[in-house]
Amino acid sequence: MLPASLTMRSSDQREALAQIRVVAFDIDGTLTDATTSWLGPELGWTQTYSTRDGEAILELVRAGLVVVPISRNRTITARTRMESLKLRLDWLGTADKLASITEASAALDAPLEHFLFVGDGREDAAIFERVGMGCAVRDAHPLARARARWVLERAGGERVMEEIAEALLAARGATETAS
């Protein structure tokens, strides 16, 4: 079942979601609630991540999707969390997310129309316009929400990857069942 946020254009949205092969995401304000805490000079800044988002990411990978962070986040915490999920780190700590999504497309041999990118910031709006499914968290910057094709029901840090995984897997299942 697709989430309520996708039911208005459900057949179009379902088909678009069924075409997704790469799920890329920002970290701060998307996987987290954008709150950071200072743990001192040895550990630096930290964020809190949902275990259920981690499980959703692993479920997407098991389903054959590529999942990659494309984020300016350079914290030890983010790197350790992404490593624990065995995700590619090529675009973690990037200075330019727009250039990085283009690099990811080439490196993964996947056209941008097969990408879903979820983010929350003003700079993510330009990415939303280039990928197959631009996705903003509920509490994203107004420009990001305006340019997103899909605005999630959940805010950053509220298990957004779980919401995305449920919709993607439902769309893929509906497409595979209909074939």
Q: Does residue 167 sit within a domain?
A: no
Q: Does residue 164 sit within a domain?
A: no
The pLDDT of residue 3 is 53
SS3 149: coil
Q: Does residue 173 sit within a domain?
A: no
The pLDDT of residue 5 is 52
| Residues 47 and 80: beta-carbon distance below 8 Å | no
Residue range of the domain that includes 96: 4-100+124-156
Listed in sequence order, the residues at least 6 apart from 8 whose beta carbon sits closer than 8 Å to its beta carbon are none
The pLDDT of residue 157 is 96
Q: Does residue 88 sit within a domain?
A: yes
Q: Does residue 113 sit within a domain?
A: no
Confidence of residue 173 (pLDDT cuts 50, 70, 90): confident
Q: Domain tally for the chain?
A: 1
SS3 87: coil
Is the model's pLDDT at 179 over the cut of 60?
Answer: no
Q: Does residue 107 sit within a domain?
A: no
Distance CA 49, CA 151 (A): 21
- Residue 117 has φ and ψ, to the nearest 5°, of -120, 125
Distance CA 33, CA 48 (A): 8
Is the model's pLDDT at 97 over the cut of 90?
Answer: yes
Average pLDDT for residues 154-168, to the nearest whole number?
97
Q: What is the CA radius of gyration of the chain?
A: 15
Alpha helices in the chain (DSSP H): 10-18, 51-62, 76-84, 97-107, 124-128, 142-147, 160-178
CATH code of the domain in which 89 resides: 3.40.50.1000
Q: Does residue 134 sit within a domain?
A: yes
What would the pLDDT profile of 30-86 be if each residue is shown by its tens digit?
A: 999 999 999 999 889 999 999 999 999 999 999 999 999 999 999 999 999 999 999
Residue 117 has which token pair? Answer: 């990118």
What would the pLDDT profile of 106-126 be if each residue is shown by its tens digit?
A: 999 999 999 999 999 999 999
Q: Does residue 135 sit within a domain?
A: yes
Is the model's pLDDT at 175 over the cut of 50?
Answer: no
The pLDDT of residue 10 is 63
